[in-house]
Amino acid sequence: MSGPSLMDSLFQRTLEDLIKGLRQQLIGEQAFISKALEEIRKEIKSTDLSTKSTALLKLCYLSNLHFHDMSFAAFHALEVLSSPRFSHKKIAYHAISLSFHDSTPVLLLITNHLRKDLTSTNEFEVSLSLQCLSRIANVDLARDLTPEVFTLLSSNKLYVRKRAVAVVLRVFEKYPDSVRVCFKRLVENLENYDPQILSAVVGVFSELACKDPRSYLPLAPEFYKILVDSKSNWISIKVLKIFAKLAPLEPRLANRVVEPICDLMRKTGAKSLLFECVRTVVTSFSEYESAVRLAVGKIREFLVDEDPNLKYLGLHALSIVASKHLWVVSENKEVVIKSLSDPDPNIKIESLRLVMAMVSEHNVAEISKVLVNYALKSDPLFCNEILGSILSTCSRNVYEIIVDFDWYVSLLGEMSRIPHCQMGEEIENQLIDIGLRVKDVRPELVRVARDLLIDPALLGNSFLHRVLSAAAWVSGEYVEFSRNPLELMEALLQPRTSLLPPSIMAIYIQSAFKVLVFCLHTCFVRGGSTAGISASASYESFDDLSVENGAGSTVAHAPITNESIVNLLKLVELALSPLLGSHDVEVQERARNLLGFVDLIKLEALNSSGQEENDSERKGVEATKIIRLVHDAFSKELGPVSLSAQGKVPVPDGLTLNENLGDLETICSDIELPSSNTFSFGYPTEEKDVSSFSNLQIKEDSGQSNESTSLLAEHRKRHGLYYLPSGKSEVISNDYPPANDPALQGDNNNNASDLVKLTAESLVSKRKPNHSKPRPVVVKLDEADEKPVAVKHPESRDDSLSGAVRDILFGSEDILPTSSRSNLPNSNRKGKEKQHMITQVESKENVVDDGNSSSRRRKDHSHGKERRHRKKNAEERNETDRKEKESSSNHPRRHKSRQRAEEPLKVPPQTSVIPDFLL
Amino acid sequence: MIKAVMVMNTQGKSRLAKFYEYLDSRLVYKHFATLYFVFVFDSSENELAVLDLIQDVLPSVFVETLDKCFQNVCELDIVFNYSKVVSSLISASI
């Protein structure tokens, strides 16, 4: 674009032209806007104020609606501000409110302008500047302009006073000391009859009270009066909100206020006010049975109303009630469940939350069934919401509400199969978690896992991959509970597993390894000699199940004959040979491991087909030994290591962690690093006693296991302290008898003893293991209980604000150390001490009673003295207050002017002693 | 406290956006002809009250004011007379 033509420069485009041009879209929006911006930049530098202001206006528009930065115009805005014309001022102020922020450099220059306008006689100018101030005020501005605001708070013009009150909020926030100046007037405005002013003041107080209710407790009588007298719904709502915050702090206040609130509830026709009353009651007055009942009745009306807005609000209120009075929710159960199928998604979610709130040990099964049915019928989003909430509720507090884990585990399996399910990760976590923690459910877990693994269709569903990986791990780890390991092997090695991502394939391979070892062990080494599976057991039929009681109940397996072993080995080779060249390191490594192992024992195993099982000489000592070793390695449970264990390890002397590892080459080149799979071998500690390590045997024979196991053992020796004891992960409270699976006939025999065992276990406190397993796909079992530390930063400012407010309301004092501090979060400010509220209250009352200002200056108050004093005053108060609640509350305020803070103080919220104004 | 007021048309193109802060908690909107008036506010406001605000106060105060400015205000007027709309919104909100 060439420079502006003469035509262009003669006639400045107005905002209308700009908008028209924009809408016409002749040259495209961006191009038009950049052209316009260019023009604006030129125009805004002109000396003519009208041109400037039009340019500014256009800039505002562009900035507001099209998000352009207008900070370059800051100074120009100021120039326009100095114009005498009102329209210019308006535009300038508008621009300023939009674009100025704390770091605008010219902010300092605006003070004088504002001051001039604030003191102007034209009320509109005053209001403009007030409006602007409320948007951009920072500490300096607030501080400098406080006197002007103070004057305006008592201005005659309603228009101005309203805005001044509104500004006060921002000024207080930025510059708390202004409270000392302005608060009195603000409170005076509470008594103003004009509804606009009143609503402004009440609005300000409701904002202030939300942040720090305690400071405003003394004003409760005024609020009470407003509540009772008010005609305006808006004001009543605000006052109710204030009371909602105040009431929990002061039970006597609550007592007084409950009645009027209930009255309001009964009488009002406005739904908004009604809802606010209901909300206030259920939030802060939940101890008052009759009030709650009344509120609940009203909630029911909301719930059955046609208007979805009201339904939603009803559900919302119900969920607030639910936290304290669960019976309410059960009463309205049908409505809640019906709302689950409401077209409005917000309503659905609220009702889901309510249903979850109703869940307890007894009904968790039915509710889950109902919910899963709903999930099947719903859209994906809601379906996942449902599943997510079921999962999180059931897993809360280490599965506190689950009594029947077998059912829960099968539910998890079922959930995985729901078409829209995207909660794969959570299900995976829980499957593994439960497997680790709940020993008795492992058979069921393995069954569920088997079902998942066998189904080839599931392999194609990418959402389910995580679940499948959990299933694979579970079946590998607890293979001894499986009924048909051969089937498992086939499932793990099926060709469709190539659809899985490499990390999960690696898990599959490793699990296949474990299952293989188990089969080999059962067939060759055990030779059917243990666990009631005799030598001939391997030829027994599948249906004959014998269960071992006591430690490690095993399920009888499908016959594991020598032929089946041979077939198995062939299958392994077939399935894994293509993976030997896989690009993924993990997969390749594990495949090689497994095939290597197979190679080692293949010869003997094949040779021994058809031979007697106990013929160890024929089988070759080597193979048996290997099998035995590997099996033992796999069968020891590795306990999780705590996340913080690494942090607890003291850095050994002479080790500099940040050193460049370049030297490692020279040091380590001659050490042969063991292959990765051997890291899964390990020895759990029996206790934290380090000396027990020397008792653990370190197997020398197997070349595979030697190095890593010794390394690991070494490590444990040194840092055994940080390994959690082994028995832990098995401890969980299960109050249930073993699953009465009709196929597992044997279980029934031992219900009694199992029950006893279980009850005993249930009395032991639950363990919370938290660590990841030594596997590539790390499943975090962390109960990372990082409760978000409530950030208390905003309180620092509020504190000074509340400090200032308290000074005004209670009488300011010197810094006092106190003996009794209530344990509230912001009570640990360094450096400054806080005043004792009791002293303040006392001093206030003292002012009334004996005008003794010296009593205010006391520094060392013993607690007992205060209490006596307080009681005395309270009694006196009681008598005088009965009739003249109003006037007595006025007394302290009249004396407020006598109270001046010595220095800015930070006042802590103490256990409050509220003057008994209301009694 | 009301955090934001937005006015947008059916394509989501914003006609007016006054954000008082960028924090959103709850949102109430109401459909008037082709315009949606959206109010964003925090927990210190009652939702129904804000809805009332939009339903009753807004038409009566705000729209009336605009009517006075423009005689029978329609969307285009809001589009074209941005500054007046903003100032009347500010006055109405007090």
B17/A64 Cβ within 8 A: yes
3 state DSSP class of A738: coil
Report the residue of B18, B26, B48, B56 to disrupt the A interface, i.e. the one with the largest count of A CBs within 10 Å. Answer: B48
Between A23, A162, A313, which is nearest B47 by CB? A313
Q: How far is CA A410 from CA A69, A364, A390, A530, A865, in A?
A: 58, 14, 14, 30, 66
DSSP string, A182-239: HHHHHHHHTT---HHHHHHHHHHHHHHHHH-GGGGGGGHHHHHHHHHH---HHHHHHH
Buried-exposed string A569-593: b where 16+ CB fall within 10 A, e elsewhere: bebbeebbeebeebebebbbbbbbb
| Dist. CA A275–CA A312, nearest whole Å | 12
Q: What distance in Å separates the CA atoms of residue A459 and residue A469, rounded to the nearest whole number?
A: 10
Radius of gyration of chain B, Cα coordinates, nearest whole angstrom: 13
Between chains, do B46 and A276 touch, taking CB under 8 Å as contact? yes
Instruction: Answer for the pair A667, A800: CB distance below 8 angstroms, yes or no.
Output: no
Q: Nearest Cβ partner of B52 from A57, A60, A272?
A: A272
Nearest to B86 by CA among A97, A81, A53, A107: A97
Residue type at A314 in one-letter notation: G
Residues A482-536: tens digit of each pLDDT:
888 888 888 888 888 888 888 889 999 999 988 888 888 888 766 543 333 333 3
Residues ≥6 apart with Cβ < 8 Å to A503: A469, A584, A586, A776, A777
Angle between helices A345-358 and A380-399 (to 10 degrees): 20
- Per residue in A430-482, pLDDT tens? 888 888 887 888 888 899 999 988 888 888 888 888 899 999 998 888 888 88
Give A300-339 pLDDT, tens digit per residue. 888 888 888 888 888 888 888 888 887 877 788 888 888 8
Chosen from A272, A281, A347 to mutate, greatest number of chain B CBs within 10 A:
A272
Task: Provide the ipTM.
Answer: 0.75
Place of tokens 């326009």: A80
How far is A815 from A269, CA to CA, in rounded Å? Answer: 51
Residue spans of beta strands (DSSP E) within A68-132: none
Does B76 contact A at CB distance below 8 Å?
A: no
Mean pLDDT of all residues belonging to chain A = 70
Query: CATH assignment of B2-92, given 3.30.450.60, 3.40.50.1220, 3.30.360.10, 3.30.70.940?
Result: 3.30.450.60
Which one-letter amino acid corresponds to residue A625? K
Smallest Cβ–Cβ distance between A206 and the set B44, B52, B83 belongs to B44
Which carries the bigger pLDDT value, residue A49 or residue A830? A49
CA distance A745 to A752: 14
Name the residue with tokens 């020895």. A683
Least confident of A278-287, A380-389, A861-870: A861-870
pLDDT of residue A755: 43
Asked if the Cβ–Cβ distance from B83 to A57 is below 8 Å, we say yes
Cβ contact (<8 Å) for A271 and B90? no
- Residue A31 makes CB contacts below 8 A (sequence gap 6+) with none
Range of lowest pLDDT (A142-156, A249-263, B4-18): B4-18
Contact A58, A13 (CB under 8 A): yes
Nearest neighbour of B86 by CB, restricted to A94, A135, A237: A94
Q: Do B49 and A279 touch (CB under 8 A)?
A: no
* pLDDT (mean) for A594-603: 84
Q: pLDDT grade, residue A823 (50/70/90)?
A: very low
At A610, list the tokens.
Answer: 């058809």
Nearest by Cα to B47 from B22, B65, B25 = B25
Average pLDDT value for residue range A10-16:
70
Count of Cβ atoms closer than 10 Å to residue A30 Cβ? 9
> Rounded CA gap, B94 and A196, in Å?
8
Cβ contact (<8 Å) for A275 and B51? Answer: no
Question: What is the distance between the alpha carbons of residues A832 and A337, in angstroms, rounded to a whole number?
Answer: 54
Contact B49 A276 (CB under 8 A): yes
- Looking at residue A109, its pLDDT comes to 82
- Using one digit for the tens of pLDDT, what is the confidence trace for A35-83? 888 888 888 888 888 888 888 888 877 777 777 777 777 888 888 888 8
Tell me which of A170-174, A230-234, A270-274, A711-715 is least confident: A711-715
Which pLDDT belongs to residue A725? 55
Tally helices (H) and strands (E) across chain B: 4, 4
| Residue A209: partners with Cβ closer than 8 Å, 6 or more residues away | A216, A241, A242, A245, A246
Angstrom distance (rounded) from CA A714 to CA A710: 6
Give the alpha-carbon dihedral of A78, A80, A85, A88, to 10 degrees: -110
Query: Among A412-421, A554-563, A604-613, A900-909, whose mean pLDDT is lowest?
Result: A900-909
Here the tokens at position A307 are 């208007």
Place of tokens 């009924």: A483
- Bridge partners, A723 (sequence order): A641
C-alpha torsion A101→A106→A111→A114, nearest 10: -70
A642, A724 Cβ separation under 8 angstroms: yes
Q: Angle at the Cα of A190 (from A188 to A196), degrees rounded to 5? A: 120
Tell me which residue of A556, A616, A582 sits closest to A501, measured CA to CA. Answer: A582
Are residues B70 and A16 in contact, defined by beta-carbon separation less than 8 angstroms?
no
> What's CA A680's distance to the chain center, in Å?
34
Q: What is the reported pTM?
A: 0.60
**Is A271 in contact with B82 (Cβ distance < 8 A)?**
no
Q: What are the helix and strand counts (H, E) for chain A?
A: 41, 0
Q: With beta carbons less than 8 A apart as the criterion, state whether A115 and A154 touch.
A: no
Single out the residue of A176, A173, A226, A174 nearest to residue A201, CA to CA: A226
Tell me the domain boundaries of chain A.
497-634
Best B47, B61, B69 member to test A by mutation, with max A CBs in 10 Å, is B47
> pLDDT by residue (tens digit) across B7-65?
777 666 666 666 555 555 777 777 777 777 787 777 767 777 777 777 776 666 666 66
**Partner residue opposite A210 with nearest CB, options B44, B52, B94:** B44
Structure tokens at B64: 């009336």
Helix H or strand E segment including B28: strand B26-32
The set of residues, in sequence order, having a beta carbon less than 8 Å from that of A738 and lying 6+ positions away, is A440, A744, A747, A750, A751, A754
Rg (CA), chain A: 38
Closest CA to A588 of A476, A674, A596: A596
* Cross-chain residue pair B49–A64, CB shorter than 8 Å: no
